[in-house]
Amino acid sequence: MMDDKITNRVRQLQTALNEHSYYYHVLDDPKISDAEYDRLLHELKGLEEKYPQLVTQDSPTRRIGAPPLSAFEQAEHAIPMLSLDNAFSDQDILDFDARIRKNTGKDAIQYTVEPKLDGVAVELRYENGVLVQAATRGDGFVGEVITANVRTIRSVPLRLRTDGPLCPDLLEVRGEVFISRKGFQQLNDKRLAKGEPLFANPRNAAAGSLRQLDSAVTASRPLDIFMYGRGQVQGVAFDTQSGFLDALAAWGFAVNPLTQKQIAITTALTFYRRLMDLRPNLSYEIDGMVIKVDQVDLQQALGEKIKSPRWAIAYKFAAVEEVTRINDILVQVGRTGTLTPVAVLEPVKVGGVMVSRATLHNSDEIKKKDIRIGDQALVTRAGDVIPKVVKIMASARTGKEQIFEMPSHCPVCGSKVLRLEDEAAVKCINAACQAQRKERIRHFVSKKGFDIDGLGKKLVEQLVDEGLLSSFADLFSLKKEQLIPLDRMAEKSAQNLVTAIDKARQIPLHRFIFALGIDHTGENAARLLAKAFDTLDGLMAAEEADIEQIHGMGTITAKAIATFFDSPENQAVLQKITDSGVVITNTLAEQPGEKDHVFAGKTLVLTGTLSAMTRSEAKKALMDAGANVTGSVSSKTDFLVAGKDAGSKLNKARTLNVPVLDEDRFLEMLGS
């Protein structure tokens, strides 16, 4: 039988170690020596090993690592983790501010500005103040569960500090995991000593560390984190981004100390230049700053585009530039037939990455910059990622440079190319073009499409060249006997590929739409379409105007989608795909009866305690009815559901004249 003294000692140690970890890793103000911390941790480990029933989710021993996983689980983000639009000049930022003021009707806007870390985005989920899940950003909608790995990061609170604001029932907080410059150097020094390959940069090291199936490996890496954003929040509301950051700090999270709160846009531009001066001496890598509208109600009013919020923008730093020679200019043909000139460069290291090619976009860009084969060129990586020719060094010309002309015929199929009216792109309009076919099929089988394992670039090219694939639909009729004679293909690998294709015959509608490679239709647009239409047939029958009415869907995208499904050739391919046994499911569509429910399409906020169900059960019931459940009250809220001990949300709802439902009325309407 366990003594109460043992239980009390374990709880005392857990609390004390978490507190000391906070002072050391978040406040940089240690209260005890490392040796004393290790002694207390060793005592706690011994007691928990002897009495495993006393181990809690927030125990400091959980930071050491858990048993290795065989694979990562996946978790859907309740609120998508969108990317940010990028700005590269002061004028871009002033234009952003002008759009915000115009769309909100405000004369002046206050912003919160934060350094943009060059790390890995994650989302942490706390229930009743305890960390229960951590996930990567993934594709913005679904990420990988990395809870055990994130627990090893010492600056992540395993339990929210109780001396902060009221602990929320549910808190999803977002941040950036990174490795400091010093930690990166030490990590690579250790790998060098062991003869292991070196990491290219701190971001790659952080990403690789987070994706370890053995969290003990992650625990050995010098990971750190700054928090900056929110997902779902229940039980507490925030009026401002700056107020949210203050609450995070009070709960025990590390918030970047350089953050500037509630400032004007001109002050933000001044801070940008200060950050550029500070950047070389910071202990961690940054690649710009993020500007966010501070008022949450204005954020909600501005809303989001398909890929990014309208209320935030990233002002990127100018990238490192290097001079190298353009050895040649090749022309690539993409899946939509667009001919893209690409500069073949004398390999050069730019910002720590070896660059040998750079896109030149189109013939207008080449003429504008007067780019010639043989030129010495200034090369950068746009947004610190994509290689780009900034300008050529005309003074270095010898007279041997060659003027480049876009071909009049497709370099792959030989068909005459066409420049469409009002477009800079030159296109091959031959639907049978081998290059387009290869790129379309590669996109179709990619991870975010049908995700068919074993169908790499070389094999797709072989299958098309051998006449085995003329369209997407031909994939599902491939036989092992057809595959065995191909290069680097034997009976076992052929059977594996056929098996992988069979496994891929069931696919969600949003991934199927993405796989089709329709112009202007990426992952986010595909999800919007899947939410709006129950089935593929419903989407195919939709008019352009119907598609354009979907919130977040633009005119150009709607036209491209309608044009694609109006094509008899495309209709025939789609019919062949479904006839081959492909089953298209839809987990994103509205559930039966949603559109008829009184709460369908309405925005509700829950506050207080309900006696008939938990708040999570109430939220699920509302979502099943087609409602949108948010964590804060605004002018766009249709109903506030007020249970027992309702707090500030009830007062705000009354101020904004938002209809308030008590529990009895809520249950009556929900049952209807």
Q: Which of 116, 292, 316, 438 is the catalytic position? A: 116
Q: Summarize the confidence of residues 290-310 as an average pLDDT.
A: 91
Q: Nearest Cα to 343, choosing from 373, 320, 363, 381?
A: 373
The strand pairing partners of 230, in sequence order, are: 173
Q: Summarize the confidence of residues 277-299 as an average pLDDT.
A: 93
Question: Scanning the structure block, which residue is given the tokens 């098996």?
Answer: 499
The DSSP element (H or E) to which 122 belongs, if any, is: strand 120-127
Query: Model's pTM, two decimal places?
Result: 0.61
- Asked if pLDDT for residue 652 goes beyond 60, the answer is yes
The strand pairing partners of 87, in sequence order, are: 315
Beta-strand pair 312-316/286-293: antiparallel
The strand pairing partners of 207, in sequence order, are: none
| Average predicted confidence (pLDDT) for the chain | 87
Count the neighbouring beta carbons within 10 Å of the beta carbon of residue 218. Answer: 23
Q: Nearest Cα to 63, choosing from 268, 216, 259?
A: 216
Q: What is the pLDDT of residues 537-594, one digit of tens each?
A: 889 988 998 898 887 688 888 998 998 898 888 898 899 999 998 999 987 765 544 5
- Asked if pLDDT for residue 351 goes beyond 90, the answer is no
Q: What SS3 class is residue 561?
A: helix
Confidence of residue 595 (pLDDT cuts 50, 70, 90): low
Torsion angle (degrees, nearest 10) of CA 54, 58, 64, 68: 90
Residue 146: what pLDDT?
94
Largest Cα span, the chain: 92
Torsion angle (degrees, nearest 10) of CA 338, 341, 342, 344: 150
> Alpha-carbon distance 489 to 481, whole Å?
11
Domains in the chain, ordered, with CATH?
4-63 (1.10.287.610), 86-316 (3.30.470.30), 322-403 (2.40.50.140), 434-504 (1.10.150.20), 508-585 (1.10.150.20), 594-671 (3.40.50.10190)
34-50 helix and 4-25 helix, angle to the nearest 10 degrees: 140
- Asked if pLDDT for residue 384 goes beyond 60, the answer is no
Beta-strand pair 260-263/111-117: antiparallel
Contact 151, 123 (CB under 8 A): no
**Which residue pairs from 406-410 have beta carbons closer than 8 angstroms and sit at least 24 positions apart in sequence?**
406/331, 406/339, 406/341, 406/363, 407/331, 407/339, 410/333, 410/339, 410/435
Residue 613: what pLDDT?
81
Torsion angle (degrees, nearest 10) of CA 191, 195, 199, 202: 20
Q: CB neighbours of 342 closer than 8 A, spacing ≥ 6? A: 329, 330, 331, 332, 357, 358, 359, 360
Position 198: which residue type? L
Residue 74: what pLDDT?
86
Cα–Cα distances in angstroms (integers) from residue 120 to residues 87, 381, 475, in the given order: 20, 19, 36
> Alpha-carbon distance 308 to 320, whole Å?
26
278 vs 319, higher pLDDT:
278
Half-sphere exposure of 71 (CA within 13 A, CB side): 2
| Radius of gyration (C-alpha) of the chain in whole angstroms | 28
> Alpha-carbon distance 207 to 117, whole Å?
13
Residue 22: what pLDDT?
73
Give catalytic status of residue 116 as yes or no: yes
